[in-house]
Amino acid sequence: MDFLNAIVALANYVLIPGITYGSQLAIGALGVTLVYGILRFSNFAHGDTMAFGTMITILATWWLQSMGVSLGPLPTALLALPIGILGCIVLVLVIDRSVYRFYREQKAKPVILVIVSMGVMFVMNGIIRFIIGPDDQSFSDGPRFIISARDFKTMTGLDEGLGIRTTQVITVVTAIIVVALLFWFLNKTRSGKSMRAYSDNEDLALLSGINPERVVMLTWIIVAALATIAGTLYGLDKSFKPFTYFQLLLPIFASAVVGGIGSPLGAIAGGFVIAFSEVTITYAWKKVLVYLMPDSLEPSGLVQLMSTDYKFAVSFVILLIVLLFKPTGLFKGQSI
Amino acid sequence: MSDTVKNSLLFALVFTLIILSGFFQGWNNAMFILNMGIISAIMALGVNLQWGFAGLFNVGVMGFVALGGLAAVLLGMPATPGAFAAGGAGVVLALLLGIGTLVAASFTYKRMPSGRNRNLAMMAILVFGFFAFRGILDPNVALIEAVNPAATGYLGGLNPGTDETYRDNGWIMLLAWPVGGLFAAGAAWLIGKAALGLRSDYLAIATLGIAEIVIAMMKNEDWLTRGVKNVIGVPRPVPYELDLQNSAAFVERAASLGFDPVEASTLWVKLLYALLFAVVLGIIFWLSQRALNSPWGRMLRAIRDNEVAAEAMGKDITARRLQVFIIGSAICGIAGAMMTTLDGQLTPGTYQPLRFTFLVWVMVIVGGSGSNLGAILGGFLVWFLWVQVEPIGLFVMNILTSGMAEDNWLRLHLIESAAQMRLMTMGVIMILVLRFSPRGLIPEK
């Protein structure tokens, strides 16, 4: 019985939050990795692209709620998501046309594009703060739990409860759908193949008649969609605050690099590696160990390796280790 | 128009702007802009050294600035009575143990043949070292934080004075500035060792990370920095306003110049700060200028412009980069210590990457990367804009919405959000400069 309790506690505090956070990071990192693969720069504005898409989704959610529309048990934000994606696509394409294209034609060095993306980050951040303000916004509605911890306890008779939140299930399901769609697109369709060809070898792709502007446009559309979905899922699960989204940049970059930047599969793996490391290292293990250890060995402290405030340090250290020992990442991304 | 004339005009323009703001918004405000402008210019010089000279992409300026602020506290504040006796030795022991663990791990990595045994040995050293480190650190930290937690609860600093008299030792802050540089240099050495061999994007991500970690540390390690409880009352190298107002000679002199004592004292203090800061800026500018025109500076620019050719000439690229990375970060640390001195307090919660990292980048880009004079101009100009965009935005919004009803929701929203205009303005300025004048206001020669 103690063993079961330990497993349930582990699932409740580590596995489920880890999977959820990992899915969010994975979708975010896919966006970074696609920009890197096709446009060949690290997009510092990605966190704010996520925040922008989420903001449009939130505004649309509020509008739908004021009209009395709802999805029943699901959060209204899912219905508003396509509007958010559209809004984000429009913004990103406008920025690409007005800002990035110039440097593409100049064949500017990647680091110049990174600096330009810093400027874009400022502007997006400003737009977001201007429209929705810098404060926390909560936009999740519908029932919070699919199984609440108390129900689980009465159902199974265990001491530990296992609570599964609606947003966690939605995150995982959406992530699976999104990833499946993306891989189908990249591997099976003509446009997806042209994107991969362009990423592999730009000159050869140009020779075989692939229109670079079209590839770039497709990339931005996909990146905007991914960013909005990742941002909305994160916002539903936690809450929306522009500054938090900016800070997500570090774990997202870490995920993309750990997996191998430029490799979509790597981005997903990296997302989960980073998420699980963050959760396991900042989790207070006492609750699990109490069930597993004999009474005499019971830990006195919280058995927390690091306080939660150091979660950035975790993604950072993993990033450094990978960069030092395996610079191409776990999945042989582009060695840069 | 020669370069000298153009540059002088540009500087004259910026100082006219600051003086105008003095006429319209009060001299106190203008002096604040000037002082922070000097500090911003120093930060911009540091980043310019890294980016303009050597092409290093450091987006962790905030972390180095914060480390400088930490030095100001560790030197300026008096030691908390009893705190070191309570747990100081234990903390020092734990830190030594932590460093020893890392050294042992890297030694193992270098000396043992690669393979599973090496990995296992390193894992064992790191895991054991970490738990021993935490095991010694945690109880001692608790002891230190238990010493008078409402007022101190941290180790305090090296100021020889007591709680009552430490403010008399303001001179110690002048020592704190170079020490702040040393702190930042140490951190830069660590990060540079690990990340400089990699390509530029990775250095950016690594520095972004280290800055966040430094801030997290300052917010959480209460025994060192009091964390989010903030350290207030950091001493200053200039007199206090109250002392000036109580001094008959000062009041008399102020009255003879037509000032009232309160205003005169605040202005005098700010003026003294400005002079001190200007001296530091002058020294750093002179040194940077010498460095730029020395063989060392030319070598750096050669590495920046053509890495392969420079390497073929036998230049040690990684070592030179590490050097300039450390020096640039140290300059940012000095500026950080100066800023904490000016504020008189260390508030880890206020360090924001947009304000302390990316704004400095805007200064360097706008001023002209690779040009020291440009960095200084950018520092003053962008800081001035950063301060003034808010009132200007409010003014513009008020005009734009003047036709609407008082309680129109759009009007209220626009006026309320005017404060958020500054980020957008900075971004637009940066993008425009990069696009239409990529070499900045004062281009590199």
Answer yes or no: do B219 and A309 touch at CB < 8 A: yes
Mutate to test the interface with A, among B217, B228, B424, B437 (most CBs of A within 10 A): B424
Q: Which of A111, A122, A254 sits opposite B427 (nearest CB)?
A: A122
Q: What is the pLDDT at residue B89?
A: 87
Burial class of residue A155 in the structure, from the number of CB atoms within 10 Å of its CB (0-12 exposed, 13-18 middle, 19+ buried) = exposed
Per-domain boundaries in chain A = 2-325
B109-117 mean pLDDT: 86
pLDDT for B331 beyond 90: yes
> B92-101, B110-119, B147-156 — which one is most confidently predicted on average?
B92-101
Task: Give the pTM.
Answer: 0.92
Mutate to test the interface with A, among B123, B128, B205, B228 (most CBs of A within 10 A): B205
**Per residue in A219-252, pLDDT tens?**
999 999 999 999 999 999 988 999 899 889 999 9
**Per residue in B206-249, pLDDT tens?**
888 889 889 999 998 888 888 888 898 899 999 898 888 888 88
Cα nearest neighbour of B420 on chain A: A130
Helix runs in chain A, H state only: 2-10, 16-39, 46-67, 77-95, 101-106, 110-132, 149-156, 166-188, 190-200, 202-207, 212-237, 242-247, 249-259, 264-282, 286-292, 311-325
Q: Is A192 on the interface with B (CB under 8 A)?
A: no
A residues 43-72 lying closer than 8 A (beta carbon) to B: 44
Q: Which of B57, B216, B217 sits opposite A114 (nearest CB)?
A: B57
Pair B55, B325: CB distance under 8 Å: no
Residue B243's contacts (CB-CB under 8 Å, 6 or more residues apart) are none
Q: What is the pLDDT at residue A100?
A: 95
B353 chain-A contacts, CB cut-off 8 A: 246
Measured CA to CA, the distance from residue A126 to residue A285 in angstroms comes to 40
More confident residue, A206 or A93: A93
Answer yes or no: do B138 and A123 touch at CB < 8 A: no
Answer yes or no: do B194 and A320 touch at CB < 8 A: yes
Q: Which of A116, A133, A247 sits opposite B434 (nearest CB)?
A: A116
Nearest CA distance, A81 vs chain B (angstrom):
25
A116 chain-B contacts, CB cut-off 8 A: 431, 434
Share of chain A above pLDDT 90, in %: 49
Domain spanning A2-325 has what CATH number? 1.10.3470
Confidence of residue A335 (pLDDT cuts 50, 70, 90): very low
Q: What is the pLDDT at residue B38?
A: 97
A residues 142-181 lying closer than 8 A (beta carbon) to B: none
pLDDT for A67 beyond 70: yes
**Per residue in A257-286, pLDDT tens?**
898 888 889 999 999 999 999 999 888 887
Confidence of residue A336 (pLDDT cuts 50, 70, 90): very low
A30-38 mean pLDDT: 93
A residues 215-244 lying closer than 8 A (beta carbon) to B: 243
Q: What is the pLDDT at residue A134?
A: 87
CA-CA-CA-CA torsion sign (A273, A274, A276, A277): positive
pLDDT for B72 beyond 70: yes
Answer yes or no: do A319 and B205 touch at CB < 8 A: yes
Q: What ipTM was predicted for this assembly? A: 0.89
Of A220, A195, A326, A311, the closest CA to residue A266 belongs to: A326
CA-CA-CA-CA torsion sign (B107, B110, B113, B119): positive
Nearest CA distance, A323 vs chain B (angstrom):
8
Q: How far apart are the first and last CA of chain B?
A: 16
Residue type, B362: V
Of A268, A261, A120, A112, the closest CA to residue A199 belongs to: A261
**Mean pLDDT, chain B, as a whole number?**
90
